[in-house]
């Protein structure tokens, strides 16, 4: 199995938006964008100088299977960013794709943003797969809380 991280394109953004409307994914992935237009606006903003987000597509054996990105990039007094990832291709679930992609992505983030020293990630408590991916990549549980009535947790990792 060959895993690659590639630059995002407008077509990827459209595909990602369509694929993440799946009810199984919707239950696991907190979302802030609910229209394709808003998704494209976020993508276009990520291309601007000084953008506060950066992402990659995840490919397995030449097939687009998901996305991984950082957002709220802040290089001020306490340099940090937030992380999100989603493998929308269910045939890749439980196969280590997200774990390996996150490992690769964090190396790129550390190189691209040398001032960033901390990465945080939110997930729902019931999303055990995402929690395992974070823990396998040295993220530590920092907080548990309720978000919109859903038990959630916050993980953090130093770079």
The reported pTM is 0.90
Output the tens digit of pLDDT for each of the chain's 159 residues.
999 999 999 999 888 888 877 888 777 776 666 688 888 888 888 888 889 999 999 999 999 999 999 999 987 878 899 999 999 999 999 999 999 999 999 999 999 999 999 999 999 999 999 999 999 999 999 999 998 899 999 999 999
CATH number of the domain that residue 20 is part of? 3.40.630.30
Among positive and negative, which fits the CA dihedral 29, 133, 112, 122? positive
Q: Say how many CA atoms lie within 13 Å of 8 toward its Cβ.
A: 24
For the residues of 18-60, what is the DSSP string, one character each? HHTTSHHHHHH---S--SHHHHHHHHHHHTSTT-S-EEEEEEE
Residue 8 inside a domain? The answer is yes
Q: How far apart are CA 16 and CA 23, in angstroms?
A: 14
The CA-CA-CA angle for residues 15, 32, 118, to 5°, reads: 100
How many structural domains compose the chain?
1
For residue 50, the enclosing domain spans 3-120
Residue 22 inside a domain? The answer is yes
């Amino acid at each position: 199995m060959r895993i690659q991280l590639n630059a995002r394109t407008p077509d990827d953004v459209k595909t990602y938006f369509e694929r993440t409307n799946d009810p199984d994914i919707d239950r696991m992935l907190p979302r802030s964008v609910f229209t394709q237009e808003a998704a494209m606006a976020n993508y276009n903003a990520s291309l601007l100088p000084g953008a506060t987000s950066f992402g990659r597509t995840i490919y397995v054996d030449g097939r687009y299977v998901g996305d991984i990105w950082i957002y709220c990039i802040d290089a001020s007094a306490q340099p940090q960013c937030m992380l999100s990832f989603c493998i929308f291709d269910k045939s890749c679930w439980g196969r280590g794709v997200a774990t390996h992609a996150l490992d690769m992505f964090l190396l790129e983030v550390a190189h691209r943003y040398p001032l960033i020293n901390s990465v945080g990630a939110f997930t729902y408590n019931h999303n055990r797969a995402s929690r395992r991916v974070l823990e396998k990549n040295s993220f530590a549980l920092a907080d548990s809380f309720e978000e919109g009535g859903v038990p959630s947790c916050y993980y953090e990792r130093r770079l």
